Homo-oligomer: A and B are copies of this chain.
Amino acid sequence: MPRSRDPLELAQRVVDGERAALPRLLSVIEQGGAPARQAGRVLHPRTGRAYTVGITGAPGAGKSTLTDRLITAAREQSEVAVLAVDPTSPFTGGALLGDRVRMMDHALDPGVFVRSMATRGHLGGLALAAPEVIRALDAAGFPLVFVETVGVGQVEVEVAGAADTTVVVLNPGAGDSVQANKAGLLEVADLLVINKADRPGADELARDLQASLQLSPRAEDAWTPPIMRTVASTGEGVTEVLDTIHQHHAYLERSGLLEQRRGRRAAEELRDILIARLEQRALDLLGSDEYRQLLAEVRERTIDPYEAADRMLLRLHD
């Protein structure tokens, strides 16, 4: 059978349970444009069942190792998909680099799907592409999706923070709680995990985090992020983290906050799509001949810049 890249067909096959079509579908989505839109229309009605867990923290904190262990633990209950987001990586479609190689231990398990993703061509970049890829994993029937981000840049924190439950991974050592504060990590955290907790400084970090949490009480809900400890390399504490993720999930369901959060996220995504589209139009306008002509007239003082802008904006209708 020829390997189809028809977006509608790929999306339909994934929705029908054919996992083998998933990598190609995700490539289509990552590349954006009209094919991604077509696929999205098939996928969107089939989404909303997956529970998403964001895992973020500074590079080297042990996020990949922790994610790997969480996969193993979660597999006792359900199938698992992982989206590893790395805006700096030049590779898309399954980077096999560094720590992430470890996750490939699950490569023979058909109930685990791992996808690496960098930013590529997609209008609005990673922040807009990630929700679409997550919807594809959702529509493919994975009840649990881990979204691991490599760094703690704005986009990564945004992507991880848009999950149903967000896990922030920190390490003992000078300044990690300060860094986490600066990067806005504490604000998005539902669970704080001190990984490599067998190293010196874990108690101090826990105290610092406790103090930071008390300084910034959370208006939204009564959930206070628990401060947990793991040694991901040995698996210590990992089951407890997964249990707490489930507790947080149950709490969000019970309180009605899950629907609220997802509603807010949908609004944010729609807003970001609109803004990205408008930015694209602005760039189109600024590259047009009419713009150059109007600018010349402004320079000759036959029209003023506000009038020129008004005339340009009429072009939006074209």
Contacts and interface: CB of A to CB of B under 8 A. Distances in A.
Interface of A: 37, 40-41, 43-45, 47-48, 262-263, 266-267, 269-271, 273-275, 277-279, 281-282, 285-286, 291, 294-295, 298-299, 301-309, 312-313, 316-317
A262 B305 CA distance: 13
Given A41-B307, A47-B301, A275 B282 contact: yes
Contacts of A274: 282, 285-286, 309, 312-313
Given A278-B281, A286-B274, A317-B316, A266 B307 contact: no
A305 B301 CA distance: 43
A189 to B, nearest CB: 26
15 contacts: A37-B306, A40-B306, A44-B303, A262-B299, A266-B298, A266-B299, A266-B305, A270-B294, A270-B308, A273-B306, A273-B308, A274-B285, A278-B279, A278-B281, A316-B317
A270 B309 contact: yes
Contacts of A298: 266, 270
Given A41-B307, A266-B295, 13 more contacts: A37-B306, A43-B304, A262-B299, A263-B299, A270-B295, A270-B308, A273-B305, A273-B309, A274-B285, A274-B309, A274-B313, A277-B309, A278-B279
